[in-house]
């Protein structure tokens, strides 16, 4: 029998999760943190005693893992913490991912490869954080809820950034417009809508359908709905480019000198992340399953680790204000692995059964960004 978990609206979108550092539990604080307090902190409730007991057991098991991780000696480079995912089953967590990756050349029959000028890695900026440019080009972190719409979030965020760079207007664009309207006839990265898709399909839709609406005109509801074609469009893109697969130098050059990138990654082990430089990617069993926005990179001197700076779509109460820093390697040969479930990423029907993906959590594999971004009518300003 299927166990039901009922969340309040506030908990669904992460609005009430605490930012208290004590939620990075250790042996002392973890001993006194109860499931009843957790439910109160995160605004959750259950419809049956059976559901409550089932999720309490999951919570208790995950708290033990959090305490064990944070108590390691020497201290780990990242800290685990309690968040809205702590009492969720694996099946429930998967709803917060939502992209199913074949080699992108087969996606649309019209792959637009980036033609980047030759450059040495040494000539790329040593660090980059697109959150700090002025005027700003990054909107606040959102929450996809239990709809597999990460692809809509990552692509809308990327369009926002490139529109802002081109026009000086930072718009909050509609993820629901993409969920409801962007077609996915070949089941690339999923079945469309809350069932998953790809950033490239989102860019394609916006470039051919007259644009994308603002969030205020077409608000997000975290569910599949009928496409509303009467909502006015606020921004559009002319095309998009895809970087060469598994190419560290190309990705560094693009995010270092062009702008944020829509990327794909294996987020299976991110649910307990709270802070620090994450080094928990499993390169032997990679499953690309999440679209996010890469907004920079840098070096953490305390951990002595290079990192990628990634914006997630699990609310600003997750991770480092909605972001995760992931260990960055330049050695592709040492950090590649097979993805045996390509349609969990950006793969389409009829694609290969296994692909090679590189970089921590497969971050190098499929990366793209829109071009020709501009506003097309009256639009809200952030």
150 is catalytic: yes
Please say whether the beta carbons of 82 and 38 come within 8 A: yes
Q: Which of 246, 264, 312, 317 is catalytic?
A: 312
**Of 211, 200, 304, nearest in space to 245 by CA:** 200
Q: Which of 70, 147, 150, 184 is catalytic?
A: 150
312 is catalytic: yes
Q: Which of 55, 153, 290, 335 is catalytic?
A: 290
Name the residues annotated as catalytic.
150, 290, 312
């Amino acid at each position: 029998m299927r166990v039901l978990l009922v969340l309040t609206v506030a908990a669904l979108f992460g609005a009430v999760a605490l930012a208290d550092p004590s939620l990075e539990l250790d042996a002392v604080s973890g001993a006194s943190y109860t499931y009843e307090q957790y439910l109160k902190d995160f605004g959750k409730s259950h419809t049956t005693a059976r559901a409550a007991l089932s999720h309490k057991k999951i919570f208790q098991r995950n708290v033990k893992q959090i305490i064990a991780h944070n108590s390691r000696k020497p201290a780990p480079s990242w800290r685990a913490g309690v968040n809205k995912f702590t009492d969720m089953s694996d099946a429930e967590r998967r709803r917060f991912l939502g992209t199913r990756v074949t080699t992108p050349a087969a996606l649309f029959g019209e792959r637009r490869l980036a033609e980047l000028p030759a450059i040495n890695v040494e000539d790329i900026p040593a660090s980059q954080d697109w959150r700090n440019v002025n005027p700003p080009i990054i909107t606040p972190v959102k929450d996809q809820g239990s709809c597999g719409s990460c692809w809509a979030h990552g692509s809308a965020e990327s369009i926002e950034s490139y529109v802002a760079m081109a026009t000086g207007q930072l718009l909050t664009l509609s993820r629901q417009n993409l969920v409801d309207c962007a077609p996915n006839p070949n089941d690339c990265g999923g079945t469309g809508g809350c069932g998953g898709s790809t950033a490239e399909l989102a860019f394609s839709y916006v470039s051919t359908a007259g644009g994308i609406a603002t969030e205020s005109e077409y608000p997000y509801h975290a569910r599949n709905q009928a496409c509303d074609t009467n909502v006015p469009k606020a921004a559009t893109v002319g095309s998009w480019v895809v970087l060469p697969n598994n190419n560290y130098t190309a990705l560094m050059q693009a995010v270092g000198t062009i702008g944020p990138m829509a990327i794909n990654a294996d987020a299976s082990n991110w649910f307990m992340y709270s802070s620090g430089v994450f080094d928990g990617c499993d390169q032997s069993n990679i499953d690309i399953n999440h679209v996010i926005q890469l907004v920079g990179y840098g070096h953490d001197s305390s951990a002595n680790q290079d990192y990628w700076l990634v914006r997630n779509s699990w609310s600003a109460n997750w991770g480092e204000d909605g972001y995760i820093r992931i260990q960055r390697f330049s050695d592709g040969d040492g950090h590649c692995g097979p993805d045996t479930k390509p349609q969990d990423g950006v793969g389409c029907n009829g694609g290969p059964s296994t692909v090679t993906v590189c970089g921590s959590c497969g971050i190098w594999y499929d990366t793209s960004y829109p071009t020709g971004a501009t506003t097309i009518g009256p639009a809200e300003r952030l």
